[in-house]
Amino acid sequence: MKVRVRGEPHRIYACHCDFCQKRSGSTGAVSAWFASDQVLETTGDTKVFNGLETDRVGVAERGFGVSYYFCSTCGSTVFFTTEVTPGVHGFAVGSFVDPDFPPPTEEFWTELRHDWVAPIRDAAAYERFSGR
Ligand SMILES: [Zn+2]
């Protein structure tokens, strides 16, 4: 699948929660959030996975579920939407394969951050999730 956006994301954060570790198969995930009118195109087949069914702790903590759209060819999560933030799309920063992409300004669930993962310089750090 391919996505194209314009402009800068209005929010970028890293999440170390158990669900992001499991769904990404890594130590966490970095998300960049864009207004829907910044999303120019999404092409290719996606499947959607609703975190409501498996992310029970996160849903209880945040109070809402997240719909994860992943590429049906490679299996990577590409973007996400939530029911409480209509008009906003989150994208997996890795989808852009851009080493110059701006860094996260927030880190969530630092209590589950792997010990060898360094805190992100100048990012606000929260032991759990904070805000939307
Ligand atoms: Zn998470």
3-class DSSP assignment, residue 95: helix
Cα 72 to averaged position of ligand 1 atoms, centre (Å): 22
Question: What pLDDT does 97 receive?
Answer: 92
Cα 111 to averaged position of ligand 1 atoms, centre (Å): 12
3-state secondary structure 2-54: EEEECCCCCEEEEECCHHHHHHHCCCCEEEEEEEHHHEEEEECCEEEEEHHHC
Cα 20 to averaged position of ligand 1 atoms, centre (Å): 4
Residues of the chain with pLDDT under 70: 51-62, 131-132
Cα 23 to averaged position of ligand 1 atoms, centre (Å): 9
Q: Are 19 and 58 in contact (CB under 8 A)?
A: yes
Cα 47 to averaged position of ligand 1 atoms, centre (Å): 20
- The residue length of the chain stands at 132
Question: What pLDDT does 86 receive?
Answer: 86
3-class DSSP assignment, residue 90: strand
Cα 112 to averaged position of ligand 1 atoms, centre (Å): 10
Distance, in Å, from the CA atom of 73 to the CA atom of 44, rounded to the nearest integer, reads 9
